[in-house]
Chains A and B, each alone.
Chain A
């Protein structure tokens, strides 16, 4: 009897496997949300809005992660923002949804929708719901600092966050340095180290990646100073590494943290991380907007 049941179940699984090869459930061209309004959903959830928020949060995480992993050319993160709005309307105290939601939203294309403005709006809603949470102000400051390079605004938010109960002691000096020097790399390191202190693998990896990029930026700046020295001495930029290594007595071809040699532009002589390196491209263009090394 049991064997028969097991056999029939196996058959049904087999049939399902065969069917799944040739059949896909209908999926609309553009993904849709069932409910268009958070407040309506809240009412319909009959007291189970927190559970509903959790469900939508898991959906948002799966949605974001799914697109990040997909090989599609045209990635569309269009539903991310409405999903996060749902989650936070249903459960206005869902801290992780605000904080990680903001991280998802700010990630630049193709790793995310690259919408720091929406991230700030999301975090500000979190702040409205629980004004005493220092993390939201801190995160808004971070978005201004890292993604929008608005150091005045960043300093203001760090300052505000530092006033709130439970805020870490390093926030006050961070606010001060941000205001004084713009985005210096030391502050950036501090912020990323803080973010990287987590159990979530991808976030830790992302923070480590940013820290390596920050190191690489120091190295690139240092190498570019050598290039400048070479140019002013020789009257022309170096055409290849050999020239620079010989004249500046380098110990060989400089490699970045991933083991890739830095790239030297034979026309301008400018040095950057190699496009083959996973560190490429470095977070912001070094000309103009880049922060000065102290």
Chain B
């Protein structure tokens, strides 16, 4: 167990010294620039757009980190052979995989937390500079704490995507793993359509296939409650709980698969 934490710590240190901090800087600069530009451009009511932009950016930046750094953490080690030194230490391959996953998860949590702080700072600025009429036209308060629900679910989605990236990186090249992960992410957002597809096709076999894929592929649409929190529409606690539980179960399945593959792998 301790070995997992040591690997996680090293992975975290490496990703933090890699390009991850830049994303946070880019995020902060983008938020500030956007809040300024958008208030100039649109007919008032820029709060909603700032919120949309901020939450979408957290999601996209997180995705980029999860995919590219996530894949790098394992397949780069294999490709550059640094894994040789590590795996000949008293550590098992499952510990290595779990440690890498945990390290990236910590990276993402820290990254998302910093972005959340920057996000709320911009909102705080808007809150203090808003006039009473502007405030009256807002669908939800600027500093609405319920926005954290959306951020927690973004984290849940990223945890799942990271596990997908990790699984692919245990057996394919970094580029292929990145493409596969992004492909699965897209599929995960189209997944909801498979349900409808099932109702329009006549062939029972095709319907069964669509249903099977619906349950098998990661379903990422439920993780997106950004629109709801921006409009202050309540998100059911059961939805959040079940979605996070789904993420946990799916992540566990992916990690077990990653371990199973990595365990028997030859390093040429």
Let me know if chains A and B touch directly in the complex, using CB atoms closer than 8 Å. Answer: yes
Which residues of chain A have a CB within 8 Å of any CB of chain B? 43, 46-51, 53-54, 57-58, 61-62, 91, 93-96, 100, 197-200, 203
B109 → A minimal CB distance (Å): 21
Stretch of B24-32, B43-51, B98-106, B247-255 contacting A (4+ beta carbons < 8 Å): B43-51
User: What are 17 A-B interface contacts by the 8 Å CB criterion?
Assistant: A43-B190, A46-B189, A47-B226, A48-B59, A48-B60, A50-B52, A50-B56, A53-B52, A58-B38, A61-B42, A93-B231, A95-B45, A96-B42, A96-B137, A197-B133, A198-B133, A199-B133
Cα separation A9 to B189 with both chains bound (whole Å): 42
A45 to chain B, nearest CB (A): 9
**Separation of A91 and B52 alpha carbons in the complex (Å):** 11
Interface contacts (Cβ under 8 Å), in number, total 64
Chain B interface size range: 20 to 34
Distance (whole angstroms) from the CB of A141 to the closest CB of chain B = 19
Interchain CA distance A230-B129 in the complex, whole Å: 57
Chain A residues, CB < 8 A from B230: 50
Q: Are A96 and B43 in contact (CB under 8 A)?
A: yes
Within 8 A of A (CB), among B181-232: 186, 189-190, 193, 220-221, 224, 226-227, 230-231
Assess the B44–A200 pair: CB atoms within 8 A: yes
How far is the CB of B135 from the nearest CB of chain A, in Å? 11
What separation, in Å, do the CA atoms of A46 and B157 have in the docked complex? 13
Question: Looking at chain B's contact residues, is the secondary structure mostly helix, strand, loop, or mixed?
Answer: helix
A170 → B minimal CB distance (Å) = 15
Which residues of chain B from 13 to 67 have a CB within 8 Å of any chain A CB? 38, 41-45, 48-49, 52-53, 56, 59-60
- With a cutoff of 8 Å between Cβ atoms, the chain A residues found around residue B227 in the complex are 49-50, 91, 93
Indicate if the CB atoms of A94 and B48 lie closer than 8 Å: yes
Chain B residues in 8 Å Cβ range of A46: 186, 189-190
Question: With A and B bound together, what is the CA distance between A51 and B34 in angstroms?
Answer: 13
Is B53 touching A51 in the complex (CB atoms < 8 A)? yes
Rounded to whole angstroms, the CA-CA distance of A197 and B41 in the bound complex is 20
Q: Are B190 and A100 closer than 8 Å at their CB atoms? A: no
**Residue B134 at the chain A interface, CB threshold 8 Å:** yes
Chief secondary structure at chain A's binding surface: helix
Name the residue among A47, A58, A62, A96 with the largest chain B CB count within 10 angstroms.
A47
Contact residue among B41, B44, B56 (Cβ-Cβ distance under 8 Å from A48): B56
Give chain A nearest CB distance to B183 CB in angstroms. Answer: 12
Q: How far is the CA of A53 from the CA of B53 in the complex (A)?
A: 11
Complex: how many Å from CA A53 to CA B231?
14
Given contacts A51-B53, A51-B56, contact A95 B139 (CB under 8 A): yes
A197-B133, A199-B131 in contact; A54/B52 too (CB < 8 A)?
yes
User: Which chain A residue lies CB-closest to B138?
Assistant: A95
Task: Tell me which residues across on chain B come within 8 A of A62, comparing CB atoms.
Answer: 41
A-side contacts of B60, CB under 8 Å: 48
Residue of B nearest to A94 (CB): B48
B133 touches A96 (CB 8 A): no
Most chain A CB within 10 A, of B59, B189, B193, is at B189
- Report Cα–Cα, A203/B44, bound state, in Å: 10
Q: How far is the CB of B161 from chain A (nearest CB, A)?
A: 12
**Could you tell me the distance between the alpha carbons of A247 and B252 in the complex, rounded to whole angstroms?**
96
B53 touches A199 (CB 8 A): no
Residues of chain A within 8 A (CB-CB) of B220 are: 47
Residues from chain A with a CB closer than 8 A to the CB of B224 are 47
Check A58–B42 contact: CB distance below 8 A: yes
Q: In the assembled complex, which residues on chain A have CB atoms less than 8 Å from the CB atom of B56?
A: 48, 50-51
B179 to chain A minimum Cβ distance, whole angstroms, is 16
B44 close to A198 (CB less than 8 A): yes
Q: A171 to B41, alpha carbons, bound, how many Å? A: 32
Chain A residues in 8 Å Cβ range of B48: 54, 94, 96
Produce 1/0 per residue, B232-261, CB < 8 A to A.
010000000000000000000000000000
CB-contact partner of B43 in A43, A54, A93, A200, under 8 A: A200
Residue pair A199, B41 in contact (C-beta under 8 Å): no
Q: Which residues of chain A are within 8 angstroms of B139 by Cβ–Cβ distance?
A: 93, 95
